[in-house]
Amino acid sequence: KLADIGLIGLAVMGENLVLNMESKGFTVAVYNRTTSKVDKFIEGRGAGKNFIGAHSIKELVDALEKPRKVMMLVKAGDPVDSFIEQIIPHLEEGDIIIDGGNSNFTDTIRRTEYVEGKGFRFIGTGVSGGEIGALRGPSMMPGGSKEAWPHVKEIFQSISAKVDGGVPCCDWVGADGAGHYVKMIHNGIEYGDMQIISEAYQFMKDVLKMNYDEMHETFKKWNTGELDSYLIEITADILAYKDEDGEPMVEKILDTAGQKGTGKWTGIEAMHLGVPLTLIAESVFSRFLSAQLDLRDQASQVFPAPEISFEGDKTEMLENLKMAVYGAKLISYAQGYNLLMEASKANNWDLKYGDIALVWRGGCIIRSAFLSDIKKAFDNNPALSHLLLDDFFKDKVQAAQPGWRKVCATAITNGIPVPTLSAALAYFDGFRTKRLPANLLQAQRDYFGAHTYERVDKPRGEFFHTNWTGEGADTVSTAYNS
């Protein structure tokens, strides 16, 4: 019997994903650069199951049902291009190459064009959920050659996570790099959620002087309400975990954060498209700051921490903190969707925002009850221009404001950094402010560079210049960027 799909890359993700496929009734041919891993897999976790082990790309491709589907789950970057070159000579028209790694969407755009140009089809799909997700049901975000989708839909949707009694967390996202773009935004949002939670933890620990059992209980309780999410759930677990000596495990971990770069890509994209994605950017910068351990060590000696004094009602402040976390999270998703909307326009992707929320609803790291509310917001109004303008979220952000402001004020007074909680609030205040000080900024630009400005009493699109010093000429700069 020929295999339904072939997979290259028997590492953490690949191995678990093919076991998932096999468990759903598909036969999978497998190959790995280091071919001893193929034998190890076939004799180990794959023993007695419907797998075909291949020791060359040709063997792998020859083992496949037509149109052939060859999926790569290898290290992102050059290995993907190298495998594409190795696969292509063995394909026939209409065959499909799939990249399931964390590739940059610009690479996926380039690869889709290249592979389609050779008469084949290409899918770049985000796969989220890590090792367990790959095995039990990941969230999947496929994009690329649309004609390829019907051929992989059944396999993808049967292995993906399911929510609400069987709705798959996998749907077609859009052309070329759209799938990997949505995965990138997912990862950026993941960075934001993690930083927001970490700031709440520090506030609980340092301002409210809570012990680990209390913090564990609080996150557990939060996980039963509107903050119900995978990351809150694992935070509760982590805070309860004790090292061998009985001390909280978290206290033993060095406070320097690592990253693989997808959060950074999201920030860079926001810069490219001119979208105020402040929360995710702050969360990336916060990781960078944490990594400057030596500098921070020196600074901590130069600038002693302010005396922390909190004498208010702890229960009330915890409730405020929950509001701050909710408010910041809402801003983060609203900014993430703002970026998706701009990217959809810039790349002609016609992204379906509600469906994207549904795809993230299960299987992935940012899965949460909150995403159902986002889905509802776009179901109610598919043309919604900003999440904060949805009626449900408008009321939520209003309700969160008072507590959120108190938390930021208390943190600032006590010298506790809350970069995302406060950046989110600053964004919200900027967003809802009718008149920002950019009038002065435009005057400055016009003063030193003759960059011109628009006037409140004239139609948009008419530009004016003032000779501020009496020394400048009438020549204005042509490079006006709104």
Residue choice 23, 26, 33, 62 for contact with ligand NBP (CB under 6 A): 33
Residue choice 94, 130, 276, 472 for contact with ligand NBP (CB under 6 A): 130
Residue 57 interacts with ligand NBP (CB under 6 A)? no
396 is annotated as an active-site residue: no
CB of 11 to ligand NBP, least distance (A): 3
241/7 Cα distance (integer angstroms)? 37
Judged by beta carbon, residue 142 or residue 327, the one nearer ligand NBP is: 142
> Which is catalytic among the residues 37, 69, 183, 396?
183
118 marked among binding-site residues: no
Residue 335 interacts with ligand NBP (CB under 6 A)? no
Strands 121-128 and 139-144: antiparallel
Nearest CA to 232 among 134, 365, 335, 331?
A: 365
For residue 422, how many other CB atoms are within 10 A of its CB?
A: 22
- Interaction mask 63-102, ligand NBP, x per CB under 6 A: ----------xxxx--x--x------------------xx
Q: Do residues 475 and 446 make contact, with C-beta atoms less than 8 angstroms apart? A: no
190 is annotated as an active-site residue: yes
80/107 Cα distance (integer angstroms)? 10
Residue 309 interacts with ligand NBP (CB under 6 A)? no
| Token pair belonging to 232 | 């809150």
Reply yes or no: is the peptide bond before residue 306 cis, omega within 30 of 0: no
Question: Distances from the Cα of 53 to the Cαs of 83, 141, 262, 420, in angstroms?
Answer: 17, 27, 32, 48
Residue 37 interacts with ligand NBP (CB under 6 A)? yes
Q: Do residues 133 and 186 make contact, with C-beta atoms less than 8 angstroms apart? A: no
CB of 258 to ligand NBP, least distance (A): 13
12 marked among binding-site residues: yes
Compute the residue count for the chain.
482
Residue 174 interacts with ligand NBP (CB under 6 A)? no
Residue 160's H or E segment, with its range, is none
Judged by beta carbon, residue 73 or residue 384, the one nearer ligand NBP is: 73
114/54 Cα distance (integer angstroms)? 26
Residue 45 interacts with ligand NBP (CB under 6 A)? no
Stretch that binds ligand NBP, among 123-131, 249-257, 264-272, 281-289 (CB under 6 A): 123-131
Residue 161 interacts with ligand NBP (CB under 6 A)? no
347/353 Cα distance (integer angstroms)? 15
Residue 186 interacts with ligand NBP (CB under 6 A)? no
For residue 293, how many other CB atoms are within 10 A of its CB?
A: 12
28 marked among binding-site residues: no
Judged by beta carbon, residue 45 or residue 221, the one nearer ligand NBP is: 45
For residue 325, how many other CB atoms are within 10 A of its CB?
A: 26
CB of 231 to ligand NBP, least distance (A): 15
Residue 415 interacts with ligand NBP (CB under 6 A)? no
| Token pair belonging to 133 | 């997700």
Residue 70's H or E segment, with its range, is strand 69-72
102 marked among binding-site residues: yes
Q: Provide DSSP, 93-108.
A: TT-EEEE-S---HHHH
Q: Do residues 124 and 175 make contact, with C-beta atoms less than 8 angstroms apart? A: no
> Which is catalytic among the residues 15, 22, 69, 190?
190
Helix (H, G, I), strand (E, B) or coil at 174: strand
Phi then psi for residue 432, to 5 deg, are: -95, 0
Q: Do residues 280 and 191 make contact, with C-beta atoms less than 8 angstroms apart? A: yes
Residue 412 interacts with ligand NBP (CB under 6 A)? no
169/186 Cα distance (integer angstroms)? 13
Residue choice 3, 5, 7, 13 for contact with ligand NBP (CB under 6 A): 13
Residue choice 84, 88, 127, 270 for contact with ligand NBP (CB under 6 A): 127
Residue 53 interacts with ligand NBP (CB under 6 A)? no
Stretch that binds ligand NBP, among 6-14, 224-232, 332-340, 389-397 (CB under 6 A): 6-14
**Residues of this chain that bind ligand NBP (CB under 6 A):** 9-14, 32-34, 37, 73-76, 79, 82, 101-102, 127-128, 130-131
Binding residues for NADP(+): 9-14, 32-34, 74-76, 102
Residues catalogued as catalytic: 183, 190
Residues annotated within the binding site are 9-14, 32-34, 74-76, 102, 128-130, 186-187, 191, 260, 287, 445, 451
